[in-house]
Structure 1
Amino acid sequence: MFQPFALFLGLRYSRTRRSSRFVSFISASSIIGIALGVMALILGLSAMNGFERELRQRVLAVIPHAEVEMVSGGFSDWQSASALLKKQPGITAVAPLISLNGMLEAGGKMKAAQLRAVLPAEEKQISQAAEYMTGSGLDALLPGENGVILGQQIADKLGVKIGDSVTMQVPDKQAQSAFSAPMQRQFTVVGLLKLGGQLDGFLGYIHLQDAQAMLGWQDEVQGLSIEVNDVLSAHTIAYQAANQLPYRMYLRSWMTSQGYLYQDIQMVRTVMYVVLLMVVAVACFNIVSTLVMAVNEKRGDIAILKTMGASDWQIRLVFMTQGMVNGLVGAGSGALLGCILAQYLSSIIHGVERVTGYQFLNPEIYFIDFLPSELHLLDVAVVTTAAVLMSLLATLYPAWRASQLLPARELGR
């Protein structure tokens, strides 16, 4: 008797109508459980991949990878400092920056905001924010015109649109008294920033020269924004580069303000792997029950095969094949469904939101307002392989038990 015959017999057993409906139910439930587990895991991993992609393409496209800022006041020799930073390994671009934190007011409504004062030509080298702006983007910021680009949520809170005026109030750090009036400057809205997330609620842009005029500075800047070639090592690269500057400066990286998002994504990915693989494992071990019952049904057949010369390994292979069919069908169908649904996950969730009127991701809380999805074939391969291997593991005990049956005892009954 050859091994191909054992495979053939195992496949035939898997297609044979079982005498017990309960055994058929257990077999079907194992296939469905494996399929649902694999599908859910692929969908979950695709969503985590989507969040990581949006973090890189949206948040890190707008927020600098790192910033160096003077301990107090500004410095005028920023061109030399910028040139020195650009020569450091890992630094790809540098741009000047003044950051103004204050209150925006329009029509009696107020909203806290952070206005980044930038040079449009320099800012374009380190940021893709212009891609998410209406109109001409950063080019709408002209020196001396007091133009401002506001996040969409800020504009909605203040009830303003392009062409309207807003008043910016910032603390006067040079004032002698803590109760002195804040500095005020009126700006005209020249554009809107539409990232579709949390940043729209506090971020805005003005021209660098307008901020310098407001602060009474000549050609001084508060700090420098830095872009690096490896975002996960941004803090280390920026720290090593900033040590070359002859100034006492604060250093911040995106890991300081947004790093928790990346860490949360990785933690959820790990937890999802563990939990859903356990779900798949439970479904796979339903195969144990199916095969134990199948062995009990086929005790006479096993005895006859052994008297015909079938070895223990051939008997084991028959039932391992029978159990693996369930694993392969479940994992394959789950992977196929997962791949199809992952491609349309964002559209499906958007449709559910429109029907129910409930928004799953509030842009005031989360950094995006939709559920992203990005399918990675490596994830599909890993999940499917893990499900198949667990199915194989589940067949070992019933197959071993089948091979231990004694022909004389079974045929003598």
Structure 2
Amino acid sequence: MFRPLSVFIGTRYSMVKNKNTFVSFISIASILGIALGVMALIVGLSAMNGFEKALRDQLLSVVPHGELSTVDGSFKHLQRSLSIVENNPGVEAASAFIKLDALLEHNNKMQALQIRAITPETESKVTHIERFIEQGGWQLLQKDKYTIILGKSVAKKLALEVGDSLLLLLPQQGASNRLKSPRKIRFKLVGLFSMGGQLDSKLAFIHIDNAKKILGLNNANAIAFRVNKILDAQKIARQVAYELNEYLYINSWITTQGSFYQDIKMVKTLMYIVLLLVIAVACFNIISTLVMAVNDKRADIAILKTMGASKWMLRFIFIVQGAFNGLFGTLLGVITGVYLALNLTDIIILLESVTGHKFLSGDIYFIDFLPSELIYSQVFTIAILAFSMSVLATLYPAWRASSIVPAKELGYAH
């Protein structure tokens, strides 16, 4: 098969065992350095992509994208307010609810948490909490009976099982803003949910009509809604709030859970920069390899020059040699990185079973496994960047090779 002479010689220099073992060692180190950098970048970005996907699919499926709650009392015209919210082009669905803070008591054990009094008929349009309910469902929340759904971690802490009764303690304000003894209301536990993370120990659900009776409200005091562009949730929440003739608190998932999302983005950016620098350091090894290779091949270069080889042909010989190392290291890194990224969750589970150590605790994070999502466009970008950096690293040694004077190398006089 026909190949340009520069490509033939360059690949031959790359594949033939070098007499100088130190040069061979540096060459292998550069290939492995590029491979490790590419592999680490693919695996790291896949893990960050996995966290982002889990945030979207799991956390944001149970946390409303936006919330509007009244500063005092309840909505004066709830249905009209709901219609205004739902008619906003950025909103997909809305549901009324009441939120209150309370204490739960059972067998002298207590737990503080936030109660969300939901509208069962419309709640599923806004969140997907119901799919995390392991026992029971919204249909068991009754408007004429005090029923409640708790997180499994709360039920475990209070030693509760489905069907047990418990006390809901609400603070009461007396004269001169002094607190009276709390109001006690007996509820029946009709369901358990398990979302993972701290939400399990912070939330409880009751029927909205129960909350109206308890608080003496005519309507809901908050509206939750789902948006079509989750990153614009805060902006859409403000737009909707300005359309309502109420004094409102404006919240979105960005204000409540956004710090976690920002942490993921920051770590992802830092990881990208740091690991690209690792690849750059590995590419500098290519410079060392080629500089020493040029010194070893000075006589060969001089002979090629006397035979009529041009400067560009000589340059391409060493560009090909360095690019071959970069290509081999990049392909090795891509293959291992893609394999590890596709099997990262299973590998971590295996390591956890072997070591007995849990890397992610479901009590702290919203997931208890290490997620991974491989995006092939990112793999392609990483491969192109790594290969381009390795080619750039060949330019100085290649130019140096083309400047060799044959007469000096072959012992002739000027």
1:323–1:392 CA contact under 8 A, matched in 2 = yes
Q: CA deviation at 1:53?
A: 0.7
Distance across 2 between alignment mates of 1:162 and 1:175: 39
Q: CA deviation at 1:175?
A: 7.0
Which residue matches 1:227? Answer: 226
User: Secondary structure, in 3 states, of the residue corresponding to 2:180?
Assistant: coil
Which residue matches 1:209? Answer: 209
1:3–1:314 CA contact under 8 A, matched in 2 = no
Which residue matches 1:183? Answer: 183
Which residue matches 2:8? Answer: 8
| Residues 112-169 of structure 1 deviation map (CA, whole Å, 9 limit, x = unaligned) | 2112110111101111111111144322322223222212222222222222222222
Bigger Cα displacement from structure 2, 112-121 vs 176-185 = 176-185
TM-score scaled to structure 1, two decimals? 0.96
Which residue matches 2:356? Answer: 357
Q: CA deviation at 1:68?
A: 0.8
1:193–1:204 CA contact under 8 A, matched in 2 = no
User: Secondary structure, in 3 states, of the residue corresponding to 1:96?
Assistant: strand
| Residues 267-307 of structure 1 deviation map (CA, whole Å, 9 limit, x = unaligned) | 00110001111111111111111111111111111111111
Distance across 2 between alignment mates of 1:128 and 1:210: 22
Bigger Cα displacement from structure 2, 167-176 vs 102-111 = 167-176
Which residue matches 2:395? Answer: 396
Which residue matches 2:50? Answer: 50
Gaps of 5+ in 2: none
Aligned length: 411
Which residue matches 1:147? Answer: 147
Residue identity opposite 2:287 in structure 1: V
| Residues 228-284 of structure 1 deviation map (CA, whole Å, 9 limit, x = unaligned) | 111111111121111111111111111111111111111001100011111111111
Distance across 2 between alignment mates of 1:75 and 1:139: 25
Q: CA deviation at 1:52?
A: 0.7
1:76–1:221 CA contact under 8 A, matched in 2 = no
Distance across 2 between alignment mates of 1:175 and 1:63: 37
Distance across 2 between alignment mates of 1:281 and 1:152: 49
Distance across 1 between alignment mates of 2:253 and 2:201: 18
User: Secondary structure, in 3 states, of the residue corresponding to 2:73?
Assistant: coil
1:42–1:339 CA contact under 8 A, matched in 2 = yes
Distance across 2 between alignment mates of 1:412 and 1:170: 99
Bigger Cα displacement from structure 2, 80-89 vs 26-35 = 80-89
Distance across 2 between alignment mates of 1:173 and 1:305: 97
Which residue matches 2:235? Answer: 236
Bigger Cα displacement from structure 2, 196-205 vs 89-98 = 196-205
Residue identity opposite 1:198 in structure 2: Q
Which residue matches 2:245? Answer: 246
Q: What pairs up with 1:68-83 in 2 under 5 angstroms? A: 68-83=68-83
Q: CA deviation at 1:412?
A: 1.0
2:7–2:320 CA contact under 8 A, matched in 1 = yes
Residue identity opposite 1:304 in structure 2: I
2:103–2:112 CA contact under 8 A, matched in 1 = yes
Distance across 2 between alignment mates of 1:298 and 1:392: 20
Q: What pairs up with 1:165-184 in 2 under 5 angstroms? A: 165-172=165-172, 177-184=177-184
Q: CA deviation at 1:176?
A: 5.8
Distance across 2 between alignment mates of 1:166 and 1:382: 57
Distance across 2 between alignment mates of 1:397 and 1:67: 59
Q: CA deviation at 1:4?
A: 1.4
Residue identity opposite 2:120 in structure 1: P
Distance across 2 between alignment mates of 1:208 and 1:175: 29
Which residue matches 1:345? Answer: 344
CA RMSD of aligned residues (A): 1.7
Q: CA deviation at 1:384?
A: 1.1
Residue identity opposite 2:281 in structure 1: V
| Residues 73-102 of structure 1 deviation map (CA, whole Å, 9 limit, x = unaligned) | 223521111012111221111100111212
In the superposition, relative to structure 1, how do residues 174 and 31 fare at CA in structure 2: closer, same or farther (>3 Å)?
farther
Distance across 2 between alignment mates of 1:238 and 1:175: 37
Which residue matches 2:379? Answer: 380
Q: What pairs up with 1:24-35 in 2 under 5 angstroms? A: 24-35=24-35
Distance across 1 between alignment mates of 2:150 and 2:335: 44
Q: CA deviation at 1:173?
A: 5.5
1:288–1:398 CA contact under 8 A, matched in 2 = yes
Distance across 2 between alignment mates of 1:105 and 1:11: 76
Distance across 2 between alignment mates of 1:175 and 1:159: 36
Which residue matches 1:306? Answer: 305
Find out whether 1:200 has 2:200 as its counterpart.
Answer: yes
Distance across 2 between alignment mates of 1:394 and 1:200: 53
Q: CA deviation at 1:37?
A: 0.8
2:173–2:180 CA contact under 8 A, matched in 1 = no
